[in-house]
Structure 1
Amino acid sequence: MRPGHGLQEERRVTTHEVFNQVPPLAGHDLADDPALLDGLEREGAGWAAAELHELGRLAGTEEAQDWGRLANEHPPVLRTHDRYGHRVNEVEFHPAWHKLMNVAVTHGLHGSAWADTREGAHVARAAKFYTWRVDAGHGCPISMTYAAVPALRQSPDLAAQYEPLLTAPRYDFGLRAPLTKHGLLAGMSMTEKQGGSDVRANTTRAVPHPDGTYRLVGHKWFTSAPMCDVFLTLAQAPGGLTCFLVPRVLPDGERNPLRLMRLKDKLGNRSNASSEIEYEDAVAWRVGDEGRGVRTIIEMVNMTRLDCVIGAAAGMRQGVTTAAHHAAHRKAFGAYLADQPLMRNVLADLAVESEAATLLMLRLAGATDRSVRGDAAETAFKRLGLAVSKYWVCKRWPAHAAEALECLGGNGYVEESGMPRLFRESPLNSIWEGSGNVAALDLLRATLRQPQTLEAFFDEVELAQGADPRLDRAVKEAKDSFTDTATIEHRARRVAERLALVLQASLLVRHGHPAIADAFCASRLDRDWGTAFGTLPPGLDLAPIIDRATPKTT
């Protein structure tokens, strides 16, 4: 034997065959979601199914998923000055960000629903926003642009100029005078250091000028998507807190003095830039009357709250489909995970939570659509339904994301799986546009100031009366929770939770798959419900629940 020959032979056989690996979750249609498609039809937007599937197939490709990964691995960079020392206030993005934005805008996920006169236009837009879930960060400017339109309509002259561009399906990135562009994006700039959610504590000043404009001086602590073309901003005018439209570039092409001080280093949502801004005598146009800034901008806040619910529902769907796909292909202890009783309990519980959130967000989108068309009852229902849903669905997402990640074991804790990014995104929606306490207290404020909202809410819930005794009992308990007014603020979170659960149960009993409705009522309404997922009681039909959550890949 030649010297060293045996060692070479040994080296050729030191590796081993790799097996029991889960194939990539790609090549599927993210719109192939029974709860989504049924709700689309039910809420009056069945005409959008073809485009929804087109978007869903794109979202399921490896290429689109890679855009989301790259946009987060290469986050935006602030360039305050150019090479000559001139202040430029530019934010640079990876090309993947622009690809994501282009898809979202050209498919009308931003403001196009406001220009679409068809019934169900806002439902179609919500369904597309839910389906295009390859990256949460770029959804922020998309959502704010959608939400800016109804607030801007408080000033018809401004709306006439800007709304056609805010609703145009053209992504036109770059610093130019807004009215010279083919399409616009809008942001919102409200929060200050000393106030947070208490915007009435804002100190940014707005000084009126003879030409009808104002000059803003102050500092905003959180302004997401500072590369937007215009911002709705709150500032203290002589008549009180007022809403203003602030462009980044003035009509003559000069840059408005909005100084980007730094970008926030955030837990998640890293593809999106969130900034601190100083206004140094920035030019602004008043939106609505002086002193009515909160009332003017509240419609924008409500619309972004709707998108918080849609985003959380989309995140849950992504989590459970990833977990179900993994369990369908991964073996442990001699059997596929998806065939093992305890894992089936976990997967089914995750799927129940996901479908309940999906039905709820579609119902709210339908209420929004009908409210825009002048339906007073739907407007009243939406007012309370949004506050309740913003509180509960967004609160459920972090626990849901953590459990879905755990279904993948150690593989789920690795960045390449995508689950850590999903988990880091999950707390944001509960914080954005008012944390849990703000949403719960807003619910109480609505019932006090607008009692018709509570009546409209229970009118909706009681459409399922008599269909399930567990739900009937829970509805009575929810009504009773309002009798003790002395402690209701202390109990506001419990009240919000109970209202959300009976609303979700009502929708599932009326419109959902029977197995999912039964599992929801049995776990969420009829027992000492465990806080961990995977605590469904015995005797439920789990097979169709898990099947509906398992993606069909090509």
Structure 2
Amino acid sequence: MTAHPAVSTPPAVAAPASSGSPGTSAAAPVTTSAGAAPRSNPAARTHEVTNQAPPLVGHDVADDAVLLEGMEREGAGWYVEDLHRVGRLAGSEEVQRWAEEANRCEPLLRTHDRYGNRIDEVEFHPSYHSLMDVAIREGLGGAPWADDRPGAHVARAAGFMVWSSAEQGHACPVSMTYAAVPALRSAPGLAAVYEPLLTSRTYDPGLRAPGRKRGLLAGMGMTEKQGGTDVRANTTVAVEQPDGTWRLRGHKWFTSAPMNDLFLVLAQAPGGLSCFLVPRVLPDGSRNTFRIQRLKDKLGNRSNASSEPEFDDTVAWLVGPEGQGVRTIIDMVTMTRLDCVLGSASGIRTALTQAVHHVRHRSVFGAKLIDQPLMRNVVADLSVESEAATTLALRVAGAADRAQRGDMQERAFLRLATAVGKYWVCKRQPAAVAEALECLGGNGYDEASGMPRLYREAPLNGIWEGSGNVNALDVLRALSKEPDSLEAYGAEIEAAVGADARLDAAWRQLRAELVPSDDAALGARRLVERMALVLQGSLLVRHAPTAVADAFCASRLAGDRGLAFGTLPTGLDLAALIARVPAAAG
């Protein structure tokens, strides 16, 4: 795979001459016509920069009490040292440069070589490859599936949050590689061949026969232009061959990371919608037909390539029973939805950290912004939002870890909590990031601050792996068809009953709303919002400092809350809330 040439710093360009004569700089002394002594040019004088926050660089992103406490609570305390290593790297100047370069020098599609042969390759800047190399090396791809230690998936979740704080675009192929393993296990023969390479900690880019590589990346191809979320409307057709393979023909609409090695694809077989494994390169080293028609021109996520591939007599292998494609791929979707929650919680935390760093250094009207009452309300409110998102994300990751080890109640809880968390945390990210950006004023609107990139990323997780409506309706489906998931959710709330009267009242009201009704779909969003808030309240009441739980219950479960951030009621310990923001922001 060809990469962009490394980006170098352009040479300095001389300023135009003040008099128009060659070789005379505008910064040169000015001489009078009578030959008097030169005087300084006022236009050349620089200014002293004051009242600006220093760059937030050289810190440990993992130095975060909320994250570390949650990781310990969910069974991954053994990972702390490794997480700090990832955190120091994520906060380094070098990695910040990688992130900027990977987004500025976007992927390029090469459909043909110089001779006209179809190659369908995507080129990336070297900094993108550097980000990917760290992610895979640190086990953020498929590695947890090969790790028998309790808490392995929680450790990976914490690492994913810390590392994606540096740059979120490359997290997409990392996430899909992680999520592909449980779905692929529906075909034990294929899993035996490919799982050891999907769980590898070696990043080995380039299109080659899978057996000749030291590590593989996976993707998925589900949606089509005529159906989108309604994958049962897919028209891609699969025809079985005498040798047991299948041939696909069709066009996918939104397939991210087309440079990955393997894809799980939905197609219509004679027995119904089915799941297939499609490698980019076949075992004999020949290219499979995977024609990339174009790369998407996206709002954000610019470092990551998203594409429209076309299949034409494309070789594939059946994964899971014929006609049960959705059921087969649902394990992959569950894991990618979990990563959407983790990524959104990380995005909120990253934006908050930038905002608090700014207001702790910037002064207005004779005082630091952090000491201005209304700004304190804003950042304290954002801190509560961030802690609630992180705590919920890690609780769901803990459920995923224990479900993989056979805990059926945790599996039932995971079924409902993933959809609830995916809906709510991803919905909160755009609002929270916008508010954090505003804390920086005009500086936050400047690309150099990094905040615009965070803002462009913010809506993505709400769309990816099912929009808000899809997840809200999925909650209704679980409530009606999987009563054990509601029981597990209820048990999680009941664990906090009696600890806070506002939470108790919200839970009583919610229980009454959980009764099925004819117009349930119409109010699904409101119901899922309440379910998310009550779940977050239960977690914070049990695990967060009293000041945090009090602020959450007062502002999210009771009282007259405003629609904007910065509307916390009086009487709360705002200093304690702000103190929960990572010390790196100081």
Q: What per-residue deviation string (whole Å, max 9, x for no partner) do you get for residues 92-147 of structure 1?
A: 00000000000000000000000000000000000000000211110000000000
Structure showing greater Rg: 2
**Are 2:262 and 1:230 aligned?**
yes
**Are 2:231 and 1:208 aligned?**
no
Paired residue for 2:90? Answer: 59
> What letter corresponds to residue 50 of structure 2 in structure 1?
F
Preserved CA contact (<8 Å) 1:27 1:553: no
Q: Quick one: distance in 2 between partners of 1:315 and 1:368?
A: 21
Q: Secondary structure at the match of 1:552?
A: helix
**Are 2:316 and 1:284 aligned?**
yes
Paired residue for 2:62? Answer: 31
Paired residue for 2:134? Answer: 103
Q: Secondary structure at the match of 1:171?
A: coil
Q: Quick one: distance in 1 between partners of 2:343 and 2:405?
A: 24
Paired residue for 1:537? Answer: 569
Q: 1:490 to 1:14 in 2, by over 3 A?
A: same
Q: Quick one: distance in 2 between partners of 1:167 and 1:530?
A: 46
**Are 2:490 and 1:458 aligned?**
yes
Q: Quick one: distance in 1 between partners of 2:203 and 2:338?
A: 23
> What letter corresponds to residue 122 of structure 1 in structure 2?
H
Q: Quick one: distance in 2 between partners of 1:54 and 1:252?
A: 40
- Shift in Å at residue 11 of structure 1? 2.4
Q: Percent identity?
A: 66
> What letter corresponds to residue 218 of structure 2 in structure 1?
A
Paired residue for 2:297? Answer: 265
Q: Secondary structure at the match of 1:548?
A: coil
Larger deviation: 16-25 or 225-234? 16-25
Q: Secondary structure at the match of 1:282?
A: strand
Gaps of 5+ in 1: none
- Shift in Å at residue 425 of structure 1? 0.2
Preserved CA contact (<8 Å) 1:89 1:260: yes
Preserved CA contact (<8 Å) 2:357 2:585: no
- How many residue pairs match? The answer is 554
**Are 2:432 and 1:395 aligned?**
no
- Shift in Å at residue 550 of structure 1? 4.5
Q: Quick one: distance in 2 between partners of 1:4 and 1:374?
A: 91
**Are 2:221 and 1:189 aligned?**
yes
Preserved CA contact (<8 Å) 2:352 2:382: yes
Q: Quick one: distance in 1 between partners of 2:239 and 2:206?
A: 29
Q: What per-residue deviation string (whole Å, max 9, x for no partner) do you get for residues 273-324 of structure 1?
A: 0000000110000000100000000000010000000000000000100000
Q: Quick one: distance in 1 between partners of 2:37 and 2:504?
A: 78
Query: What TM-score results when the alignment is normalised by the length of structure 2?
Result: 0.93
Q: Quick one: distance in 2 between partners of 1:553 and 1:518?
A: 24
Q: Quick one: distance in 2 between partners of 1:9 and 1:180?
A: 67
Q: 1:461 to 1:6 in 2, by over 3 A?
A: farther
- Shift in Å at residue 191 of structure 1? 0.5
Q: Quick one: distance in 2 between partners of 1:372 and 1:247?
A: 27
Q: 1:506 to 1:5 in 2, by over 3 A?
A: farther
Paired residue for 2:172? Answer: 140
Q: Quick one: distance in 1 between partners of 2:72 and 2:456?
A: 33
Pick one of 274, 284, 292 that aligns with 1:242. 274
- Shift in Å at residue 483 of structure 1? 2.7
Pick one of 482, 488, 496 that aligns with 2:514. 482
Pick one of 459, 477, 497 that aligns with 1:445. 477
Q: Secondary structure at the match of 2:580?
A: helix
Q: Quick one: distance in 2 between partners of 1:404 and 1:97?
A: 26
Q: Quick one: distance in 2 between partners of 1:125 and 1:455?
A: 28
Preserved CA contact (<8 Å) 2:288 2:315: yes
Q: Secondary structure at the match of 1:89?
A: strand
Q: What per-residue deviation string (whole Å, max 9, x for no partner) do you get for residues 182-239 of structure 1?
A: 0000000010011100000000000000111000000000000000000000000111
Q: 1:192 to 1:4 in 2, by over 3 A?
A: farther
Q: Quick one: distance in 2 between partners of 1:542 and 1:91?
A: 49
- Shift in Å at residue 4 of structure 1? 7.1
> What letter corresponds to residue 289 of structure 1 in structure 2?
P
- Shift in Å at residue 528 of structure 1? 2.3
User: What does residue range 231-380 of structure 1 map to in structure 2 within 5 Å?
Assistant: 231-380=263-412
Q: Secondary structure at the match of 1:537?
A: coil
**Are 2:253 and 1:221 aligned?**
yes
**Are 2:450 and 1:418 aligned?**
yes
Q: Secondary structure at the match of 1:381?
A: helix
Preserved CA contact (<8 Å) 2:480 2:516: no
- Shift in Å at residue 12 of structure 1? 7.4
Q: Quick one: distance in 1 between partners of 2:500 and 2:86?
A: 37
Preserved CA contact (<8 Å) 1:249 1:256: yes
- Shift in Å at residue 513 of structure 1? 1.8
Preserved CA contact (<8 Å) 1:151 1:297: yes
Q: Secondary structure at the match of 1:154?
A: coil
Q: 1:363 to 1:371 in 2, by over 3 A?
A: same
Q: 1:421 to 1:12 in 2, by over 3 A?
A: closer
> What letter corresponds to residue 153 of structure 2 in structure 1?
H
Q: Quick one: distance in 2 between partners of 1:261 and 1:142?
A: 23
Q: What per-residue deviation string (whole Å, max 9, x for no partner) do you get for residues 402-433 of structure 1?
A: 00000000000000000000000000000001
- Shift in Å at residue 452 of structure 1? 1.0
Preserved CA contact (<8 Å) 2:245 2:317: yes
Q: 1:83 to 1:511 in 2, by over 3 A?
A: same
**Are 2:143 and 1:112 aligned?**
yes
Preserved CA contact (<8 Å) 1:325 1:551: no
Preserved CA contact (<8 Å) 1:482 1:488: no
- Shift in Å at residue 507 of structure 1? 0.5
Q: Secondary structure at the match of 1:261?
A: strand
Q: 1:539 to 1:77 in 2, by over 3 A?
A: same
Preserved CA contact (<8 Å) 1:388 1:440: yes
Q: Quick one: distance in 2 between partners of 1:302 and 1:545?
A: 32
Paired residue for 2:185? Answer: 153
Q: Quick one: distance in 2 between partners of 1:492 and 1:515?
A: 31
- Shift in Å at residue 9 of structure 1? 2.8
Q: Secondary structure at the match of 1:285?
A: strand
- Shift in Å at residue 476 of structure 1? 1.0
Larger deviation: 44-53 or 512-521? 512-521
Paired residue for 2:124? Answer: 93
Preserved CA contact (<8 Å) 1:26 1:553: no
Q: Secondary structure at the match of 1:277?
A: strand
Q: What per-residue deviation string (whole Å, max 9, x for no partner) do you get for residues 216-275 of structure 1?
A: 000000000000000000000111000000000001111001100000000000000000
Paired residue for 2:155? Answer: 124
**Are 2:60 and 1:20 aligned?**
no
Q: What per-residue deviation string (whole Å, max 9, x for no partner) do you get for residues 522-545 of structure 1?
A: 000111221210000011001121
Q: Secondary structure at the match of 1:9?
A: coil
Q: Quick one: distance in 1 between partners of 2:492 and 2:464?
A: 27
Query: CA RMSD of the aligned region, Å?
Result: 1.3
Preserved CA contact (<8 Å) 1:242 1:290: yes
- Shift in Å at residue 488 of structure 1? 1.2
Q: Quick one: distance in 1 between partners of 2:311 and 2:516?
A: 46
Gaps of 5+ in 2: 1-30
> What letter corresponds to residue 69 of structure 1 in structure 2?
E
Q: Quick one: distance in 1 between partners of 2:582 and 2:87?
A: 15
**Are 2:237 and 1:198 aligned?**
no
Query: What TM-score results when the alignment is normalised by the length of structure 1?
Result: 0.98
Pick one of 74, 81, 95 that aligns with 1:50. 81
Q: Quick one: distance in 2 between partners of 1:483 and 1:18?
A: 61
